Structure formats: C-alpha cells, structure tokens
C-alpha cells in the first residue's frame, strides 16, 4: 500500500494492492484502515463516546462478510484503546463504492481509496440504501435455520413479514443511528456495542413477547453478532414506529411555562400556597384549590397517567417467575457491597469535580456547593448506610435511565423507550436488578429539572421575581411527586409488586434521589455551571427530609 500526496484530481489517498473482496484478509489494509483511515473518521462522529479521553490506538478485532448480489459489505468490530487504560467497542458496516464522488448517494465518506487500481470510496454502509434494504429483508426473512455467518437476524413471531418499500434516516445523528423503514418501523443501529446483549434489546423483546406491555414501541426484530467465544453482541434493534407529538420533556416545559405565567396573570401570592411533606401521597381530588388555581388540573392528570404507565412497566418487568433475568430478587450482601462501592466511587469523583470547579459558581449555587463540601462526610455515610437486612421489598430489572426525555407523548398517553440504561454504567451494572423506585427517583429529578429549566429559560418573560418562581417551583414539585406517588404506589401494590411500605419506600427514594442528584453534579459543573444549582438544591432538600 502506498499513500499519495493530496491532489486536486479525483485520486485516492490510499491505494491497496488487494481487491475489496480480499480486504480483511490483507494485513496491510487492516493496518492502514485502523491506524490512519478510521482514526481520522471516527473522531468526528457524534456517536463516538471517547471525546473526553485520549485515543491510543484502534484495533480490528473481528469482521464478517455480507455478500448479496449487488455489493459486498463487511461488518467490522473495532476496539478503541485509550491512554487512560480502558477501551470501547464499536461496530461499523463498511461498503466500497467504485467510481467518482458525483455518483455517490451520500456525502458521508470514510476515505477515498483504491483496490487493485479501482478508484472509489469507503462508505459507512448504513448510508447506502442497498445495505439498508438488505438488513430489512434479512430480518423479515429470518428463520430458525442456522445462520450463514456470524450475524444473526431475528424477526418476532408477533410480526408478519412484509416487503421493503423505503428507508430514511430519523432526525439528527445521535449516540446511535436510527433508520425509519416503510414509514412504520424504526431500526436502531447501535454504534458503541458491548460484549453482551444490549439491555434495550433484552427488555423491549421481553415486554413485547412475554408481558404484553402496550406502552412501548413493540419489538419487531434484531441483529446480533455471535462471537467465537460464545458471547452475543447486539448490533441493531427494530421496533414499531409510534406516531407522537414529541417527548414528555418538551411537553412538560410547555405546560410549566403556562403554569408559571399564571402567577402574574392571576395575581397569585406564592406565600399563600399550602406546603406539603416530600413524598406525601396526594390524590388529585385533595389538592388545595390554591394549587389548582396556580397549576391547573391538566398537569396533575398527566403526572398521574405517567405514574400509571411507570407502575405498569415495573409490574411487567417483575412478572416473570421462569426467566431468571426477569425474576424479582431479594436484597443480599453481594448487592449491598456492589451498590456501596459503586456509589462511593461516583461520590469521590463528584467531590473532586466540585472542588476543582468552585471558581465557576456564584451566589446561592456557590453557597450550596460549600454546604455540599461541608456535609460530604454525612453524604458518604448516607451512601454507606444501606442495610440490606432491613429491606423487605424486591429488586427487578429496571429502565435505569428514566426521565422525561425517554417518554413519547401521543394522544394524551405516554410511551416509554430507550432501555439501554445509565450511560456511565458498565453493561454488567445496567443488568443488575435494582429497586424500581430508582426509576421513580429518576423521573422526580426530571420533574425538578423541568421546573428549573422553565425558570432559567424564561428570557424575562415572567415579571415575577426569580426568588418567588423558585419558591413556587419547589412547592409545585412536591405536589407533582405527591400525585405521582398516589397513583404509582396504589397500582404496584394492587398488582403485588413488592416495593415495601412507607418507611422503606421513603428510605429508598431518599437514597436513589441523592444518588441521581450527585450523579448530575458532574455533568452540570463541566457543561453548564449556572445549572449546578438544580442538583445542589435537590441534594439540600433530600438531606433536609432525612433529618425530619
């Protein structure tokens, strides 16, 4: 292989002596592909998750050939090693398109190359319609017969096979790449992959085929890669495409903007709001008229509906007594050790972050940050104070990264999606059975964020002082939690999902809320210090509740 100097004419930067058909049998191609071509390409991609680390080298660890009539494609598994002594795995489907750039159907090019004198371009095959059609047909035609190669295509028995009509990209590029097929299915191609089945695939398939939970985009099919050692890697997940009016985060921000506008519009006095205790269960028909006048009825009806769908999700995830992956589990010493080690490591990381970023804070955020540091011993002890022998409830598989952005709104109902789990967690940690109240806590933190985001992004559209808005927001937050708790607890207890009783529920909520708020500190300090007040206020509120 020889590398040529840049030229104004359409000449390949990389020239290989092998043919495209033999590319991954040629050591020179593999070396150049991993050390020169791929590094330059992957660093620019939105789905690359290693931007905050120093790339050391890239290695091709596995590949497979898919050869339909028209083109030859390769599925390539790469390992990216970092100077910080860890690695990440990614999967890239590759295509070589000979000819000039003008003939390409995509502008997304990995590199100009030539094989045995044939000029052309290396392309991420997802950008080639022939490849997308091939994937769709392979899923629809999948059977119980042994696969031809390492790639396993599967179609759910709940789905009737259909013919390919069209495919298009869904929105902007994110951490995964999503393709809409036939305007009725969405295929999520996982970019960063794990040496195990993806939790999103596992949970969506379970909820669709075994529990019949309706409020998700149903499982249609999948692509998995069988590794030589016996492990299975999830490469893609196909689901129903749900018509929607956007996610619940955008919906909630729109609702809350109208709510806070009522303070001025109706000349409401915030100091007259009846306050309630955190986690106090609040039936909608018992909400004080002053709060209904402020927030309206619709907001609480939607919170109650979301609580119902959350409860139904947890009931379904804890309903299987045969599949051990979804059988409820008791608390034990192993779980307690895992939990404490994980949280203390995370807490120490956040302590270091806040100590190194104090100069970014001012006003109340700075005061709360100082209080956080002053109370670090108390917070650490709280994380260590997890006595599993006192837990009478059960652990189940959970969503793991549950917030308003993971919920779609359609016709006054909610549909839950993206069960991949917490981004910072390992794939093994994401599959650990945890208290379902951890998802509930995640949604409560999302409520808190929505309230503060509405205030911060008001662009001075509210004449009410920010201090009054914060005061009204904190009280509204407690009522939203109260309504959610009333519906959620009633439903799960009615269906015999064991989440414990009042004292245990409140302990677990305190524990999980504190974990989520401390987790949020790192992101806010590094990305938008002004918003650090949101998790800091959440932490202060939880610590105050603990003492009462």
pLDDT in 10s for each residue of the chain, 548 residues:
544 444 333 456 799 999 999 999 999 999 999 989 998 888 888 888 887 788 899 999 888 888 776 789 999 999 999 888 888 999 999 999 998 887 788 878 999 999 998 999 999 999 999 999 999 999 999 865 556 678 889 999 999 999 999 999 987 657 789 999 999 999 999 998 888 889 999 999 999 999 879 999 999 999 998 877 778 889 999 999 999 999 999 999 999 999 999 999 999 999 999 999 999 999 999 999 999 999 999 999 999 999 999 999 999 999 887 888 899 999 999 999 999 999 999 999 999 999 999 999 988 889 999 999 999 999 999 999 999 999 999 999 999 999 999 999 999 999 999 999 988 888 899 999 999 999 999 999 999 999 999 998 876 778 888 889 999 999 999 999 999 999 999 999 999 999 999 999 999 999 999 999 999 998 898 888 888 999 998 898 888 876 66
Helices 437-456, 298-317: crossing angle, 10 deg rounding: 150
Farthest CA pair distance, the chain: 81
Neighbours of 540 (CB within 10 A): 18
Helices 333-356, 363-374: crossing angle, 10 deg rounding: 130
* 8 Å CB contact between 222 and 201: yes
408: left (phi over 0), alpha (psi -120 to 50) or beta: beta
Which residues have CB under 8 Å from 63's CB, separation 6+? 24, 74, 75, 76, 77
Length of the chain (residues): 548
* 8 Å CB contact between 422 and 451: no
β partners of residue 60: 78
DSSP secondary structure string for all residues of 287-302? S-HHHHHHH-SHHHHH
The predicted pLDDT at position 123 comes to 93
Give the 3-state secondary structure of residue 123: strand
**Residue 7 burial (10 A CB sphere; 0-12, 13-18, 19+):** exposed
* 8 Å CB contact between 23 and 16: yes
* 8 Å CB contact between 115 and 19: yes
Question: How many Å separate Cα 137 from the centre of its chain?
Answer: 28
The Cα–Cα gap between 16 and 19 comes to: 8
The Cα–Cα gap between 472 and 456 comes to: 14
* 8 Å CB contact between 203 and 146: no
Question: How many Å separate Cα 96 from the centre of its chain?
Answer: 32
Neighbours of 495 (CB within 10 A): 14
**What Cα–Cα distance (Å) separates residue 373 from each residue in 300, 358, 512, 533?**
36, 11, 20, 14
The Cα–Cα gap between 403 and 17 comes to: 52
DSSP secondary structure string for all residues of 233-264? EEEEEEEEPPP-S-BHHHHHHHHHHHHHHHHH
The predicted pLDDT at position 364 comes to 86
The predicted pLDDT at position 8 comes to 36
The Cα–Cα gap between 431 and 398 comes to: 8
Report field, pTM of the whole predicted structure over 0.75:
yes
């Amino acid at each position: 292989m020889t590398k040529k100097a840049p030229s104004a004419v359409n000449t390949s930067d990389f020239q290989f002596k092998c043919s495209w058909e033999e590319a991954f049998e040629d050591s020179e191609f593999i070396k150049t592909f991993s050390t020169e071509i791929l590094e330059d390409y992957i660093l620019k991609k939105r789905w690359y998750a290693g931007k905050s680390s120093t790339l050391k080298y890239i290695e091709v660890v596995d590949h497979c050939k898919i050869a339909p009539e028209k083109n030859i494609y390769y599925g390539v598994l790469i390992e990216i090693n970092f100077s910080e002594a860890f690695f990440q795995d990614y999967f890239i489907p590759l295509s070589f398109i000979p000819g000039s750039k003008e003939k390409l159907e995509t502008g997304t090019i990995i590199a100009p190359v030539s094989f045995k004198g044939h000029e052309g371009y290396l392309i991420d095959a997802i950008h080639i319609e022939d490849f997308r059609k091939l994937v769709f047909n392979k899923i629809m035609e999948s059977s119980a017969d042994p696969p031809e190669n390492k790639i396993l295509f599967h179609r759910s028995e709940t789905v009737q096979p259909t013919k390919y009509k069209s495919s298009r990209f869904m929105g902007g590029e994110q951490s995964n790449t999503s393709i809409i097929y036939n305007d009725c299915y969405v295929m999520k191609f996982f970019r960063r992959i794990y040496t195990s089945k993806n939790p999103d695939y596992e949970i969506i398939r379970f909820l669709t085929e075994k529990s019949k939970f309706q409020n998700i985009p149903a499982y249609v099919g999948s692509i998995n890669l069988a590794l030589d050692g016996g492990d299975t890697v999830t490469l893609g997940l196909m689901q129903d495409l749900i018509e929607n009016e956007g996610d619940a985060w955008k919906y909630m921000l729109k609702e809350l903007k109208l709510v806070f506008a009522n303070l001025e519009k109706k000349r409401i006095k915030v100091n007259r709001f009846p306050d309630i205790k955190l986690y106090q269960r609040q039936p909608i028909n018992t909400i004080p008229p002053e709060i209904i006048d402020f927030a309206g009825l619709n907001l609480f009806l939607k919170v109650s509906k979301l609580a119902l769908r959350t409860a139904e999700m947890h009931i379904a995830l804890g309903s299987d007594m045969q599949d051990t992956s979804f059988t409820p589990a008791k608390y034990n010493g192993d779980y307690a050790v895992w939990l404490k080690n994980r949280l203390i490591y995370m807490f120490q990381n956040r302590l270091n972050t806040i100590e190194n970023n104090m100069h970014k804070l001012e006003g109340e955020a700075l005061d709360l940050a100082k209080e956080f540091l002053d109370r670090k011993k108390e917070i650490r002890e709280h994380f260590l104070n997890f006595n599993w022998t006192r837990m009478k409830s059960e652990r189940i598989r959970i969503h793991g990264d549950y917030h308003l952005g993971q919920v779609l709104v359609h016709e006054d109902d909610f549909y839950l999606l993206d069960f991949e789990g917490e981004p910072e967690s390992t794939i093994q940690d994401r599959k650990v059975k945890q208290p379902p109240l951890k998802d509930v806590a995640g949604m409560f933190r999302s409520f808190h964020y929505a309230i503060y985001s509405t205030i911060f992004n008001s662009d001075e559209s509210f004449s009410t002082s920010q201090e009054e808005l914060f005061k009204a927001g904190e009280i509204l937050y407690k009522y939203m939690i109260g309504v959610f708790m009333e519906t959620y607890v009633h439903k799960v207890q009615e269906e015999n999902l064991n989440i414990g009783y009042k004292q245990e529920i409140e302990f677990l909520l305190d524990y999980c809320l504190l974990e989520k708020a401390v987790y949020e500190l790192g992101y806010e300090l590094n990305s938008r210090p002004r918003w650090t007040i949101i998790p800091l206020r959440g932490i202060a509120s939880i610590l105050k509740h603990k003492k009462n």
